[in-house]
Amino acid sequence: MSYIDGFVIAAPTAKRQEVIDYAARFDPIFIEFGALRVVEAWGVDVPHGKLTDFYRAVDAKDDETVMFSWIEWPDKATRDAGMQKMMEDPRMGADNPLPFDGKRMIFGTFENALDLKA
């Protein structure tokens, strides 16, 4: 079963295209380093909860949209090696800053426990 990196991000709504363009430039590097799939999803119908929600998780402001993204890898070993290469890759340097506040991004890695397909 595959191994997943999951992310929730608060992205500036006014910079939607800039965020998507950034992902379009840099997400292929994950594929280059072994990822099977990268998905960037722009929030459309993301409800505000009474106790918790995606907005609170990333301290999203009124002028930000929540994004939900994931990277699918064939296994943990490929993921670990690929992420190490990403951290060392000069294309990911300070001259290419994130178009959102990375300090409020939440992320984690997950083992695929069930995978149903049509």
> Total domain count for the chain?
1
Long-range contacts of 42-49 (CB under 8 A, 24+ apart): 42/11, 42/16, 42/67, 43/67, 43/68
User: Does any domain span residue 67?
Assistant: yes
For residue 76, the enclosing domain spans: 3-92+102-110
User: Does any domain span residue 118?
Assistant: no
* Residues 11 and 19 sit within 8 Å (Cβ to Cβ): yes
pLDDT digits (tens, 9 = 90+) for 89-117: 998 877 878 889 999 999 999 998 998 98
User: Does any domain span residue 85?
Assistant: yes
User: Does any domain span residue 55?
Assistant: yes
pTM: 0.91
3-state class of 26 per DSSP?
helix
The CATH number linked to 61 is 3.30.70.100
Task: Output DSSP code: residue 34.
Answer: T
User: Taken in order 12, 28, 39, 9, is the CA torsion positive or negative?
Assistant: negative
